[in-house]
Chains A and B, each alone.
Chain A
Amino acid sequence: MSGFPQDTVVSRRSGAKGLVGGPGTGVSSLEYPAVLSDVTRLAVFGGVYSNHLALEAAIEDARAKGADAFLCLGDLGAFGPTPDRTAEILQDEGVPVVRGNYDDSISRGLEDCQCGYTDPRDNHYAHLSYIYTLTNTSNRHREWMGTFPDRIRFRLGGLDVLAFHGSPRRMNEFLWETTTPTHFLRGMADQHSADVLLGTHTGIHWARQLDERRWYLNAGALGRPANDGKTNVWYLLLDVRAEQLHHTFVPVSYDVGALVGEMRREGLPEEFVETIRTGWWTTCLEVLPGKERARGRW
């Protein structure tokens, strides 16, 4: 597809907590081909949506599980409170971030989050969330978001991994488990010479094996629960064992009550609070396919 920059390539910097490519490093100093030879366990975070408490909990949990590198797949803001806090944590940890549609919109000051809602109710709440995030993100962080690459490519456990937000071709493309054919994913893996396609954007984690060697992995989201009636959120661990790459979706619990208190103090809609409290999505429902929607409450 035209219009995309070359894949950005990152490697682990000796002594760094994250992958090179974090705050202010841009992409110019990166090596190619990047082989994360000294990384044995990579923690991958999907959309954070300003849930800084879940992000802190996930980082702590991943460290306790032996993760030696972190990667974030974008959408730092939306939905939750005080968006600058999420940016500060990711910067402090040196976590490289792939550009999500929210980061793209916030950095460029666009009119909306680019999720493409047509339902008036979804649009109403998406607009509230977006305006709150835009208003409360510092210029410094907006500029930083403008430096995120659309894609990050690296080699791990003998496999070529391509990380992106929505899909390799479009950052706001939804790849849901029940509307994404295996042949479609194989075609994308072929086109981008990738063994592992690593994305987020949908907010619900899932995995599909494409053939003996190749996978599509959706890291889910840290920002809100997986529409399953549970309050925990999810991240993804990529694990190199016996020169093979394994994946594990990890549930994370965090201080839901504290987040709810912050959201209310910030005047965020009670509908968002309800999702955090109950684990059921109450907004942004239009884009869910029938099967995913039927599994939820609303």
Chain B
Amino acid sequence: MGRIELEVVDPSPAVELQALDELWFQVAGTVCNLRCRHCFISCSPENHSFWFLSREDVQVALEESVPLGVKEYYFTGGEPFLNREMEGILADTLTLGPATVLTNATLIPGRRAAKLAALAAASPYTLELRVSLDGITREMNDAIRGEGTFDRCLEGVERLVGQGFLPIITCMRSWPEDDTERYLEGFRTLLGRVGYDRARIKIIPPLLMGEEADRTRAYHETERVTHEMLHGFDLSQLLCTRARLVTARGVYACPILLESPSARLGDSVGTAAARPARLGEAACYTCYMSGAICSNTLSGAGADR
């Protein structure tokens, strides 16, 4: 009998970076002071699979980002304010461009809120604080984010608002889509009680991975991006066509796919920017369906030009 040689070909489509508009930093690795039940990369105090980035690590990537024309810088984790150098990292970043920190706001005492306000005031660029809050009641939020987090988060929000920030309150949708208006009103009322009377609220669809896959359901096998789905599709809707993520273990295609080896695209920003991103993961399906949910706004992306 003759031998049949089989070549393994990844059937998932790949997309090139169009422009490096966003540079993300996994600045606290997978280390978090909370253990949220929906965390898509299962961050916790014990999850050290990705460690902190140092201020020097960030500085190297920032320098690399300038000739690449990066427009916005994002900091995520884990919880970024567990990184002891976070304020210095923001000071460095804000000399170059706008910065957004994704935080649970439980580590923002008054002194830190004041320091962040001083950093923002010293920069021509915007410093955004994106605060995760997953419910309009203590019971709803704490069931997902852990006991006591509702109150601690709102205290952090109140301190930020007191310093002149308009934090973007981010909530993963855990209700039927048709109920969103009602929940938005609930958030406005809740935030008004802590003095935030013109709340900016961002509702994101659930990512059915990590802890969330156990909490609700995982992606179905049919929920994948195919070559056919990309015909006529505006690729700028996909974060990996305009962003890369710097971690302590290399540069990745996007902040969601930290646990996917194929999403690691290189050791440096430049190397990772030159390599296409493969849309082989189930989470790519959510990005395809919902647009780049990780960015603050669509920022003009999505034009059929």
Please name all residues of chain A whose beta carbon is closer than 8 Å to the beta carbon of B97 when the two chains form the complex. Answer: 179-181, 183-184
> For the complex, is B219 an interface residue (Cβ under 8 Å from A)?
no
The answer to whether B128 touches A174, judged by C-beta atoms less than 8 angstroms apart, is no
The answer to whether A171 touches B303, judged by C-beta atoms less than 8 angstroms apart, is yes
The answer to whether A3 touches B305, judged by C-beta atoms less than 8 angstroms apart, is yes
Whole-angstrom CA separation of A42 from B96 in the bound complex:
32
Q: Which one of A116, A171, A183 lies within 8 Å of B298 (CB-CB)?
A: A116
CB contacts between A and B, total, < 8 Å: 98
CB closest chain-A residue, reference B303: A172
A106 to chain B, nearest CB (A): 15
The answer to whether A294 touches B71, judged by C-beta atoms less than 8 angstroms apart, is no
> For the complex, is B211 an interface residue (Cβ under 8 Å from A)?
no
A-facing mask of B225-239, CB < 8 A → 1, else 0? 000000000000000
Q: Which one of B69, B127, B200, B300 lies within 8 Å of A174 (CB-CB)?
A: B300
> For the complex, is B164 an interface residue (Cβ under 8 Å from A)?
yes
Please name all residues of chain B whose beta carbon is closer than 8 Å to the beta carbon of A286 when the two chains form the complex. Answer: 200, 297
Residues of B contacting A: mostly: loop
The answer to whether A170 touches B300, judged by C-beta atoms less than 8 angstroms apart, is yes
B237 to chain A, nearest CB (A): 10
The answer to whether B305 touches A187, judged by C-beta atoms less than 8 angstroms apart, is no
Range of interface residues on chain A?
Answer: 35 or more
Most buried by B among A101, A170, A286, A291: A291
The answer to whether B66 touches A183, judged by C-beta atoms less than 8 angstroms apart, is yes
> For the complex, is B166 an interface residue (Cβ under 8 Å from A)?
yes
- How many B residues, CB 8 Å from partner? 37
> For the complex, is A177 an interface residue (Cβ under 8 Å from B)?
yes
Asked whether A178 and B305 contact (CB < 8 A) given A118-B298, A166-B300, A290-B165, the answer is no
> For the complex, is B51 an interface residue (Cβ under 8 Å from A)?
no
Please name all residues of chain A whose beta carbon is closer than 8 Å to the beta carbon of B298 when the two chains form the complex. Answer: 116, 118
Asked whether A174 and B70 contact (CB < 8 A) given A289-B126, A290-B127, the answer is no
Most buried by A among B198, B201, B305: B305
Please name all residues of chain A whose beta carbon is closer than 8 Å to the beta carbon of B166 when the two chains form the complex. Answer: 290, 293-294
Whole-angstrom CA separation of A3 from B236 in the bound complex:
13
> For the complex, is B181 an interface residue (Cβ under 8 Å from A)?
yes
Asked whether A101 and B71 contact (CB < 8 A) given A181-B98, A289-B98, the answer is no
Q: Which one of B98, B181, B202 lies within 8 Å of A179 (CB-CB)?
A: B98
The answer to whether B66 touches A293, judged by C-beta atoms less than 8 angstroms apart, is no
Q: Which one of A1, A101, A201, A290 lies within 8 Å of B128 (CB-CB)?
A: A290
Please name all residues of chain B whose beta carbon is closer than 8 Å to the beta carbon of A120 when the two chains form the complex. Answer: 180-181, 184
> For the complex, is A173 an interface residue (Cβ under 8 Å from B)?
yes
Whole-angstrom CA separation of A50 from B28 in the bound complex:
49
A296 to chain B, nearest CB (A): 9
The answer to whether A116 touches B301, judged by C-beta atoms less than 8 angstroms apart, is yes
Whole-angstrom CA separation of A293 from B69 in the bound complex:
25
B-facing mask of A281-298, CB < 8 A → 1, else 0? 000001101111110001
Please name all residues of chain A whose beta carbon is closer than 8 Å to the beta carbon of B180 when the two chains form the complex. Answer: 120
> For the complex, is B302 an interface residue (Cβ under 8 Å from A)?
yes
CB closest chain-A residue, reference B120: A291
> For the complex, is A4 an interface residue (Cβ under 8 Å from B)?
yes
> For the complex, is A40 an interface residue (Cβ under 8 Å from B)?
no
Whole-angstrom CA separation of A170 from B302 in the bound complex:
10
Measured CB to CB, the residues of A under 8 A from B are 1, 3-4, 101, 114-116, 118-120, 166-167, 169-174, 176-181, 183-184, 187-188, 201, 286-287, 289-294, 298
Measured CB to CB, the residues of B under 8 A from A are 18-19, 66-67, 69-72, 96-98, 120, 124-128, 164-166, 168, 180-181, 184, 198, 200-202, 296-303, 305
Given contacts A120-B184, A174-B299, A290-B166, 6 further A-B contacts (CB under 8 A): A116-B300, A172-B300, A172-B303, A183-B67, A289-B126, A291-B125
User: 4 nearest interchain CB pairs?
Assistant: A181-B97, A173-B300, A187-B69, A116-B298
* 25 pairs from A and B in contact (CB 8 Å cutoff): A101-B303, A114-B302, A114-B303, A120-B180, A167-B300, A170-B303, A172-B302, A173-B301, A173-B303, A179-B71, A179-B98, A181-B71, A183-B67, A183-B97, A184-B70, A184-B71, A187-B69, A286-B297, A287-B299, A289-B126, A291-B125, A291-B126, A293-B198, A293-B200, A294-B165
